[in-house]
Chain A
Amino acid sequence: MTIEINGKQENISENMSLAMLVEAKGYELKKIAVELNGEIIPKSKYESCFLSEYDTLEVVTFVGGG
């Protein structure tokens, strides 16, 4: 099925949780925030959050410095 990640169309398998996607795409879990269809999903919900066709994901990857 097709979803959008940071503005790009991507094909992913059915029945994929957000946790599985983060791991498959190689994001560093501890440095990201993920927005699904306009809502930031807390990390405690990544396992139980399953993706659907046409979902729009935005992954914010923080970099250090302040």
Chain B
Amino acid sequence: MIPTRDEVYETLCVRHTRAVQEKLAAGRVAVAGLGGLGSTVAVALARAGVGQLHLIDFDRVDLSNLNRQQYRMKDIGRYKTEALREIIGEINPYLKIETDTVKITAENAKALFTEEDIICEAFDQAVEKAMLTDVFFEELSREKMLVAASGMAGFNSSNLIRTRKVNSRFYLCGDETNGLESGGSLMAPRVGVCAAHEANMILRILVGEAEA
């Protein structure tokens, strides 16, 4: 027997306080890219009880992803959207999880992000990160917020990773320096630190904290 919806919610209220939990439960967040950043952000938000998550990725789980992404060996070959939906369902089955197994492009981005208040950029490639930022400021409603990430490769100091408020709608997490281009590999701890920065900034926005 799994716990009921009420039991899960009331337990989260005891942990986080009811005032905070009501805001998290009303949260609507899109996660763009479900790799090391996105899968980790999504799991953190699900554990916190964020009510509505929109998970988007075109790719399937590969063995090489298991060094840092939240997937399991049994997920190899499955779409990341479907594997992550299952993982989250085993943590909290009462959240509203939407998935889109598509590649996000400048053309389809506007239509994909109609419902969510906060968009988490969690792509792998610098060009994709910049593309989503551009579409966000060109086409999306000024009510929406973007939390993005840049610079988390290698095993440099965790303390170089920070959250920076670029402007009133745009937060950037990472060290902004160490990328794939500089030869560093992506590893679970530092990608996880950066993902936690993104997830925490999203929680802060949901509860009404605007500072980084």
Count of residues in A whose CB is under 8 Å from the partner chain: 20
Q: Which B residues lie at the A interface, using CB under 8 A?
A: 33, 35-38, 122-127, 129-131, 133-134, 137-138, 148-153, 166-167, 170, 172, 174, 176-182, 184, 186, 191
Q: Which A residues lie at the B interface, using CB under 8 A?
A: 30-33, 35, 38-44, 58, 60-66
- Residues from chain A with a CB closer than 8 A to the CB of B184 are 65
CA A55 to CA B78, docked complex, whole Å: 49
Q: Interface residues of B: mostly helix, strand, loop or mixed? A: mixed
- Residues from chain B with a CB closer than 8 A to the CB of A32 are 130
Q: Interface residues of A: mostly helix, strand, loop or mixed? A: mixed
- Residues from chain B with a CB closer than 8 A to the CB of A58 are 166
CA A64 to CA B153, docked complex, whole Å: 8
Q: A65-B186, A66-B152 are in contact. List 16 more A-B contacts (CB 8 A).
A: A30-B131, A31-B129, A33-B134, A35-B166, A44-B138, A60-B176, A61-B176, A62-B148, A63-B150, A63-B180, A64-B125, A65-B36, A65-B191, A66-B35, A66-B37, A66-B123
